Amino acid sequence: MGYALAGAFAHERHSVLLVSGPTHLDVPANVDFIPVETAAEMHDVVSKHIGRMDIAVFAAAVADYTPATVEPRKIKKSGATLTLELVRTADILGSARQPFGFSGILVGFAAETENLESNAREKLTLKHCDLIIANDVSQPGIGFDSNQNEVLLVFPDRTESLPAASKYELALQLVDAIVRLSQALTNR
């Protein structure tokens, strides 16, 4: 969905910076691109570049936890079970307002498996977003590993749904909604 959005923003003649972890997807035309390998790298790149953005859209499904240590070699079998210690990953979206100091339009994504609207609304408030785009990733045929998606737009004052469509078709609708939101908030 992030790549579809980057392509749709570029199609509508917006300047776009795409920060992405490893994927098999092609970078859309006319999009500046910074590849990263880890959540920590993504956090650092976003903190460095977000200040020059008017709109920031956080579509990456960054892991909430990462291994506390990374072994330099293969871990050999030594017992029936193995316990891994995980540590919380830096919250990139949650850092956008503070400590990054971003004051533009902030859009986050919420990939949920239950309580779609209420979880998205909670994220909207906790992360100080202007819009959360939520999708139910438990639904077969949409979301991850699919060209189709169906989303719920959760604004502070309302909720709108966009029916299932290709990710690129949805991305064009989302760009329109985000630009309208930006214009409305700018004209206040």
Give the CATH number, domain containing residue 115.
3.40.50.10300
Residue 95 domain boundaries: 2-62+85-186
* Confidence check: pLDDT of 132 > 70: yes
* Confidence check: pLDDT of 117 > 80: yes
Any domain includes 181: yes
Burial 40-76 (b: 16+ CB within 10 A, else e): eebbebbbeebeebebbbbbbebeeeeeeeeeeeeee
Q: What does pLDDT average to over the chain?
A: 93
Q: Which pLDDT score is estimated for 143?
A: 62
Any domain includes 72: no
User: Distance (Å, rounded) from C-alpha 158 to C-alpha 121?
Assistant: 10
* Confidence check: pLDDT of 164 > 80: yes
Q: Which pLDDT score is estimated for 159?
A: 97
List pLDDT tens digits, range 73-99: 998 888 889 899 999 999 999 999 999
Q: Which pLDDT score is estimated for 141?
A: 72
The structure's pTM equals 0.90
User: Distance (Å, rounded) from C-alpha 141 to C-alpha 114?
Assistant: 17
* Confidence check: pLDDT of 23 > 90: yes
Return left, alpha or beta for 178; rule: phi > 0 is left, psi -120 to 50 is alpha, else beta.
Answer: alpha
Output 141 or 49, whichever has higher pLDDT: 49
Any domain includes 118: yes
